[in-house]
Amino acid sequence: MTTNNIESILKEFHDKYTDLVWYARRSPEDLVGLPVDIRDKMLENLTRVSRTWAEEVEELGDPDEGDWHHGFNSGAMAAFRLFLGLLSEDPEEIEFSLDCFPDLDT
């Protein structure tokens, strides 16, 4: 497996967990007062994530284990972000990735 293949796989996982963390952080109040175009884009993305990752979104809604799943998704997002940064050939990017881990900003 080449570095490009590994990077592509890591990017797919990173995108998945970034989607799920973003989704879990949303609430109906987030839509109030937004300009229509931004609100529509947010609704479009909420729908996309809920369809693409239906099983994982359902797990987030579990009253007993939803917080656990959100924590797992957050940790996975941070780890995949770190892994992608470590693949960089730029020493500053590598240092930045190490310094920021386990930052959970999305």
Average pLDDT for 75-85? 96
pLDDT tens by residue, 30-44: 899 999 999 999 999
pLDDT for position 106:
57
Whether the predicted pLDDT of 3 surpasses 90: no
What DSSP designation does 95 have? H
Closest among 28, 30, 19, 7 to 73, alpha carbons compared: 19
Q: What is the pTM of this model?
A: 0.90
Kindly list the domain boundaries of the chain, sorted by start residue. Answer: 3-100
In whole angstroms, what is the distance from residue 101 CA to residue 16 CA? 18
Using alpha carbons, list the distances in angstroms from residue 22 to 17, 50, 57.
8, 11, 11
Q: 31 near 42, Cβ under 8 Å?
A: yes
Contact partners, residue 26, CB within 8 Å, separation at least 6: 42, 46
pLDDT tens by residue, 47-66: 999 999 999 999 999 999 99
Burial class (CB in 10 A: 0-12, 13-18, 19+), 20: buried
What is the pLDDT confidence band of residue 103, given thresholds at 50, 70 and 90?
confident
